[in-house]
Amino acid sequence: MAKITIPFVDLAGQFRNLEGELTQAFIDTGRSGIYIMGDRLESFEDKAAKYCGVDHAIGVGHGSDALFLILKALDIGPGDEIITATNSFIASAWVIAATGATPVLVDVAEDFNIEPTLIEDAITAQTKAVIPVHLTGRPARMNEINCIAQRNELYVIEDAAQAIGARYHGSRVGSLGLAAGFSLHPLKNLGVYGDGGLITTNDNKLASKIRTLRNHGLRNRDECEVWGFNSRLDSMQAAFAEIKLGHLDIWNERCREIAALYRADLGKVVEVPFDKEWEECVYHNFVIRTEKRDELMTYLLEHGVDTRIHYPIPIHLQDAARDLGYKMGNFPKAEKYAKTMVSLPIYPDLRDDQVTYITQLVNSFFNVLGEK
Comparing CB distances to ligand PLP, the nearer of 99 and 183 is: 183
**Binding pattern for the stretch 186-205 against ligand PLP, x by CB under 6 A and - elsewhere:** ---------x-x--------
10 Å CB burial of residue 368 (0-12, 13-18, 19+) is: exposed
Binder of ligand PLP out of 52, 73, 161, 346 (CB under 6 A): 161
Comparing CB distances to ligand PLP, the nearer of 269 and 315 is: 315
Identify the helix (H) or strand (E) that includes residue 103.
strand 102-106
Comparing CB distances to ligand PLP, the nearer of 119 and 266 is: 119
CB of 141 to ligand PLP, least distance (A): 16
Comparing CB distances to ligand PLP, the nearer of 94 and 357 is: 94
C-alpha span between 151 and 28 (Å, rounded): 50
Q: Which of residues 35-64 bind ligand PLP (CB under 6 A)?
A: 62-64
Handedness of CA 333, 335, 336, 338 (dihedral sign): positive
C-alpha span between 320 and 90 (Å, rounded): 9
Residues 6+ positions from 96 with CB-CB distance below 8 Å? 71, 76, 82, 84, 102, 103, 131
Nearest CA to 5 among 348, 286, 303?
303
Number of residues that bind ligand PLP (CB under 6 A): 15
Residues 6+ positions from 110 with CB-CB distance below 8 Å? 333
Nearest CA to 272 among 368, 138, 161?
138
Binder of ligand PLP out of 88, 200, 201, 285 (CB under 6 A): 88
Comparing CB distances to ligand PLP, the nearer of 160 and 344 is: 160
Determine the residue type at 146: N
| Binding status of residue 232 toward ligand PLP by CB under 6 A | no
| Binding status of residue 183 toward ligand PLP by CB under 6 A | yes
Comparing CB distances to ligand PLP, the nearer of 59 and 197 is: 197
Q: Which of residues 90-109 bind ligand PLP (CB under 6 A)?
A: 91-92
Nearest CA to 290 among 270, 263, 272?
270
Comparing CB distances to ligand PLP, the nearer of 179 and 355 is: 179
Q: Which of residues 115-134 bind ligand PLP (CB under 6 A)?
A: 133
Q: Which of residues 141-160 bind ligand PLP (CB under 6 A)?
A: 159
10 Å CB burial of residue 332 (0-12, 13-18, 19+) is: exposed
The residue number whose beta carbon is nearest to ligand PLP equals 63
Comparing CB distances to ligand PLP, the nearer of 64 and 237 is: 64
| Binding status of residue 177 toward ligand PLP by CB under 6 A | no
C-alpha span between 237 and 221 (Å, rounded): 23
CB of 159 to ligand PLP, least distance (A): 5
Residue 310: how many other CB atoms lie within 10 Å = 19
Residues that bind ligand PLP in the complex, under the rule CB under 6 A: 62-64, 88-89, 91-92, 133, 159, 161-162, 183, 185, 195, 197
